[in-house]
Structure 1
Amino acid sequence: MSQFDASPASLATETLVLAEQARVVSWTTRVLLAAVSGVMMFAPWVNPVLFWTGWLAGVPLLYALRDTRLPAAFALGWLAGVLCFAGASHWMIDFMIHLKGLSWPVSAILAGLFWLYTGLALGFACLLYRWLALRVPTWDLLTFPLVIAVVMAIFPQLFVTDFAEGQARFLVALQGVDLLGAQGLNIIMLLFSGLLFQLLQAYYSNSRGAGMGMLVAGAVLLLWFAYGFYALSYWDNQVRSWDTTRIGLVQPNDPPRRRIPAPREGFTREAPEEMVASRRLAKAGAQWVAWPEARYKGYYDMFTVRHGYGKEVTSWGVPLFFHDVENRWVNAEQVSFNTVAWLDHNGRLAGQYRKVQRMPFGEYLPAFFELPGITQVTRMFMGDYLRPVGAGTEHVEFRVGDMRVIPKVCYETAFPQFVAESIGADSAGKLLLFLSQDNWFGETSQPFQHRDMSVLRGVENRVPMVHLINNGPSVAIVPSGRVVASTQAFSRAERLVDIPFSANAGGSFYSRHAVLVQRSLYAALALLLFWGLIAGRRSHAA
């Protein structure tokens, strides 16, 4: 074509060629962009100060995926996912070391296999997103956040992946989870990335104006943050008018052990060290005292321990919540339960909660690993760490005065719907109490991530929340997510907390309709997939 050929047709052709050349991205660049996205995804989990990177993490991934074929989209998503989970759960190496006493290299290999598996979640999500993008490209702003959030939620993992857990310090953005839960915030974050990506594309292509999809996305984001400002102000005002309840928290920082340890020097099972700290807290005005999930105590197995605890608690006149292993005979078989016990002010066992959501591989084997031939290998590897326990069957509340304490154990914090179910419609006066043992993960970011996860559960359900972690950092928050007290990580502590509380407040749209929210998201994705199938058939017919 001559440089003097300036007909409209030739100019249009040259423009299209140049535009197509500008869109060509080398495979190396795509890999780098996917890797950057994976790092930006995990950064807020490791350091909450970097919460803002979670809002931008989708942009490099979208550039990496642009104009790719489906296998390439899967590979790029898988790479981003592996890096995301490797960074977010780097503590898996320490966990393996404490679990079996393995060497660092062996633990790293096992953790690497875990990351390769979990990274598949984002790989399949990117594959499905590109499939939809090829069929219904005008719906990109909806398909990207919805597909990523839902696929990562339904992919079989130990726990649901919520990018929202890295936003515990971004209180304005956090408030909307009382409507749509953590998955709602996941979608909002991904929607922000998608909108920014399209704005950048429009800017560099000199496109004028914004499409209807961009306007709708911008409006949704504005509404989310407008609600965030309103709700944060509302709950701050509500909390100021509440009375406070003084509670005592004991953080013993027990080291992880696979065997039942002997009592610390100078103490007995009947009078453990936590009793001394609790006595001080009770004298200082605590209205109830709590201990975290930690070492075996023998309360359910030994009469002398029950008698000692009862006598001590009676002398304070203050209720005590603590965790222990409860052994019971069920259908002629001995079954262990992870149980939270409640001793009233008279030292009597007034109630107990048996952990419902058990830890896979630590407290039970998933069905697949119980198959003949596989179970032997699994048990050989897991060894004495695998301590099968029975599952509780119901939520329980401990009523102390006007306060209705809802106990939960360890990683039950990772199940939003389950926690919302425990609050439900009858929510007034409830407080969430999480008791955890995180020393299995060493001095890593894991207990901080666990703490932030529990903050979301408090805001989702608009109740005060206390998360007492054996090795810290323990935390107490009000329904807005604001922290009223905390402890240092990897240390022993005892803490008095004056937590604002109202017998007439609590509960949210999410706590009443968590299942409806999730099913609505799944239904929206199903409709998109159906529309994609129809659009694909129409294009082939044409």
Structure 2
Amino acid sequence: MRSTRRAATRGPGRAGPLERVAGSLVLAWGWRRALAAGLAGALAALSQAPIHAFPVLWIALPVLVFLLDGAVETADGGRGSRWRAAFGIGWSFGAGYFLAGLWWIGSAFLVDPLRFGWLLPIALAALSAGLGLFTGLGTVIARLLWTDGPARILALAVGLWISEYLRGHILTGFPWNALGYGLAANDTLMQAASLVGLDGMTLLAVLIFAAPAAAAGGGRAGLATAAAGLALFAAVAGFGVWRLPAQAVAVHPGIRLRIMQPAIDQSHKWKPEFRDEILARYTALSTAAGADGQGLAGVTHLIWPESAFPFLLTYEPEALRQLADLLPSGTILLTGAIRAEPPAPGESRTRYFNSIYVIGENAAILAAYDKAHLVPFGEYLPAQDTLEAIGLRQLTHLRGGFTPGPGLQTLAVPGAPAMGPLICYEAIFPDAVVDARNRPEWLLNVTNDAWFGLTPGPYQHFHQVRLRTVEEGLPLVRAANSGISAVIDGYGRVISSLKLGQSAQFDAQLPVSLPATFYSEHRSNAFWLASICMLCLVLIRARRLS
């Protein structure tokens, strides 16, 4: 800290370029400091999909370090003013990061603009400002641990690691675009997630990309820290090169999947006049002749995306008859669907579930999974009675919203290994992917990203799903209404896929699973291990101050 402040006061002839930049940022104040932090956050968002420009983090995070160096006590504010300044810097960085990285969420409000369009600017402002609170908390924690010299890089890593962990767990959790995804930019770099998971990737990302800040006025120790950051990056890349095999993963013999991507317009999906057209589109696309000209012959598993039917399937005998006619003997349909149950005791409303059905011969429903992690304001409305009184509704066209399911399950699928189902945004939560008591051999993710059109959102969603396969060592099959549909192996490599917005289907084989990864077996210990490390840092800092 003092080293960069000394750099700020040196004559221009004595300071190098990095020290001059550091000095100007350390001395920034008021709106200039907030603007610099916000722009650095927006720059950091370019590290996320679909751009994956992770080198920008070598600029954005050192800027954050230098700004925090300048978060000092004022003459009239005492030590609390330092923490308020640190919070303001972190909040501005986070608000810029989330606004630049999540602006596409506003597209969902334009599907039905007459009802929801007015909410778009309010929602984006509230989301960016609210998520920025977590980053502000992270920089306050970092500032509590702040020391002179290179150790402040570790302080920032611990602070942001804690804030990102909390962002993924508090209330319903929202770990979208965690900093760790920026480091996991390609097949090679993402392999480290098999050891440390998303939270560990976030910790590594801050240590690696913030390290150059230590070189500004830090002497030999600062240069050594910057070099250590580069060495850590090389280690992450080297591990990825070592782990990735040159050959493709083996596949299960006798299994042929057909994955559907109908690209149905979201504005049509729930309108009654399009019901017959939508079902006809699914059946026509399913039976479109493959490369061998045999249609569904030889297809063992047909996979449709989330909420494929614009009606309650079990209430529609004619639709069930059409499915029975569609499926040849031995072909299993795995599909998203809305499921209904009578009201629970003491309730008056029918309960609706966002589900996956396993459908066999004669359209018999063999198994079902109900989505447990629902999207707030999308699939249900928190404090519904209160918010509806002021005119708010959830985005789905379902009065009362969905009911959450019981949680993780492993489903038996005829003709295939046991499967772990994930519906839409359930796949972004690394701690809630598989039932550890009954580990599946593959994952199925059905989703509908048509809400967000051709924006970065579906690409970010897809990238996060890929990291789940690396963490677990499990292949994943993904059917999305508008994309991106794909088959991914246990290394996160895309074997086959369809482009975003494309209406098509493709056939693929099912890759075999890998042995359970270190992360999948030890994830429960990660938070406590990091907490102990943080406590040690606090104790060391307290000892220095005593």
Provide the TM-score with structure 1 as the length reference. Answer: 0.83
Partner of 1:3: none
Q: Give the Cα–Cα distance (whole angstroms) in 2 for the partners of residues 457 and 46 of structure 1.
A: 15
AA in 1 matched with 2:283: M
> C-alpha offsets along residues 263-299 of structure 1, whole Å, 9 cap, x if unaligned?
648x468x53212222336536332110101452431
Question: Helix, strand or coil for the counterpart of 1:57?
Answer: helix
Distance in 2 (CA, whole Å) between partners of 1:15 and 1:430 is 56
Distance 1:139 1:425 in 2: 41
Deviation at 1:438, TM superposition (A): 1.2
Secondary structure of 1:488 counterpart: coil
- 1:272 aligns with 280
Alignment of structure 1 residues 380-529 onto 2, 5 Å:
384=397, 387-394=400-407, 395-419=409-433, 421-422=434-435, 424=436, 427=439, 430-499=441-510, 501-502=511-512, 505-529=514-538
Summarize the Cα distance change of 1:43–1:343 in structure 2 as closer, same or farther, 3 Å threshold: same
Question: What is the match of residue 261 of structure 2?
Answer: 251
The separation in 1 between residues aligned to 2:454 and 2:244, in whole angstroms, is: 33
Once the two structures are superposed, residues 5-32 of structure 1 have per-residue CA deviations (whole angstroms, 9 ceiling, x without a partner) of: xxxxxxxxx9997489974523366445
Is 1:50 equivalent to 2:49 in the alignment?
Answer: no
Matched-pair contact (CA < 8 Å) for 1:142–1:191: yes
1:61-115 deviation digits (Å, cap 9, x = unpaired) = 1122213132222212211111111111111222222255358675223322221
**2:28 maps to which residue?**
26
Q: 5 Å matches for 1:130-529?
A: 130-134=143-147, 139-155=151-167, 156=170, 158-161=173-176, 162-166=178-182, 169-202=185-218, 207-208=219-220, 220-233=232-245, 236-237=246-247, 239=249, 245-257=255-267, 260-262=270-272, 264=274, 267=276, 272-280=280-288, 283=296, 285-294=298-307, 295-313=309-327, 315=328, 317-332=330-345, 333=347, 334-345=350-361, 347-366=363-382, 369=383, 373=386, 376-377=389-390, 379=392, 384=397, 387-394=400-407, 395-419=409-433, 421-422=434-435, 424=436, 427=439, 430-499=441-510, 501-502=511-512, 505-529=514-538
Q: Take 1:17 and 1:277, find their aligned partners in 2: how far apart are those partners?
A: 69
5 Å-filtered alignment, 1:46-125, equals 46-54=49-57, 56-68=59-71, 69-98=82-111, 101=114, 107-125=120-138
- Distance across 1 between alignment mates of 2:283 and 2:410: 25
Tell me the distance in 1 between the aligned counterparts of 2:359 and 2:87: 54
Q: CA deviation at 1:190?
A: 0.7
Unpaired segments of 5 or more residues in structure 1?
A: 1-13
Distance 1:15 1:459 in 2: 43
- Per-residue CA deviations over 1:164-199 (Å, capped at 9, x if unaligned) read 334554222110111111111111111012222113
Counterpart AA for 1:88 = G
Letter of the structure 1 residue corresponding to residue 201 of structure 2: L
Q: Match of 1:398, as an amino acid?
A: A
1:381 Cα offset (Å):
7.8
- The alpha carbon displacement at 1:151 in A equals 0.8
**Alpha-carbon deviation of 1:515?**
2.2
Structure 2 gap segments, 5+ residues each = 1-5, 72-81
Task: Tell me the amino acid that sits aligned with residue 231 of structure 1.
Answer: R
- How far residue 353 of structure 1 moved from its aligned partner, in angstroms, is 0.7
1:187–1:342 Cα change, 3 Å: same
In angstroms, what is the RMSD of aligned CA positions?
Answer: 3.3
| Cα distance between partner residues in 2 of 1:16 and 1:408 | 52
Residues 380 and 39 of structure 1: is their aligned pair in 2 closer, same or farther, counting only changes over 3 Å?
closer
CA distance in 2, matches of 1:113, 1:163: 20
Q: 1:403 to 1:413 in 2, by over 3 A?
A: same
Q: CA deviation at 1:140?
A: 1.9
Change in 2 beyond 3 A, CA 1:382/1:456: closer
Q: Give the SS at the match of 1:91.
A: helix
Q: What secondary structure does 1:407 align onto?
A: strand
Q: Distance in 2 between matches of 1:141 and 1:111?
A: 31
Q: Deviations over 1:138-161 (max 9, x none)?
A: 632322112112212203475114
Q: Judge conservation of contact 1:100–1:382 (CA < 8 Å) in 2.
A: no
Which residue in the other structure is 1:37 paired with? 40
Q: Contact 1:48–1:168 at 8 Å: present in 2 too?
A: no
Question: Could you tell me how far apart the structure 2 residues matched to 1:16 and 1:167 are?
Answer: 31
> 1:498, CA displacement in angstroms?
3.3
Contact 1:336 1:389 in 2 (8 A): yes
- Inter-partner Cα distance in structure 2 for 1:194 and 1:224: 16
Contact 2:214 2:223 in 1 (8 A): no
**Residues 249 and 496 of structure 1 are in contact (CA less than 8 Å); yes or no, is this contact kept in structure 2?**
yes
Deviation per CA, 1:400-438: give whole Å up to 9, x if none. Answer: 43422222101001111001x33x3754x6111111111
Q: Does the C-alpha gap of structure 1 residues 44 and 194 become closer, same or farther in structure 2, counting only changes over 3 Å? A: closer
Distance in 2 (alpha carbons) for counterparts of 1:490 and 1:125: 38
Asked if the contact 1:300/1:325 (under 8 Å) is kept, the reply is no
Superposition deviation, residue 132 in structure 1: 1.5
Question: Are 2:370 and 2:404, in contact at CA under 8 Å, matched by a contact in 1?
Answer: yes
Provide the residue aligned with 1:5 in structure 2. Answer: none
2:70 counterpart SS class: coil
Check the 8 A contact 1:357/1:391 in 2, yes or no: yes
SS in 1 for 2:379: coil
- TM-aligned CA distance change 1:393 to 1:246, over 3 Å: same
* Percent identity of paired positions between Structure 1 and Structure 2: 20
SS in 1 for 2:314: coil
After TM superposition, give the deviation of residue 118 of structure 1 in Å. 1.5
- 1:487 Cα deviation after fit: 0.8
Deviation at 1:492, TM superposition (A): 1.2
Distance 1:381 1:331 in 2: 22
Cα deviation per residue 1:202-235 (whole Å; 9 max; x = unaligned)? 4xxxx235688667656654443332221113xx
1:37 CA drift (Å): 1.9
Q: Distance in 2 between matches of 1:108 and 1:483?
A: 36
Partner SS state of residue 466, structure 1: strand
Instruction: After TM superposition, give the deviation of residue 355 of structure 1 in Å.
Output: 0.7
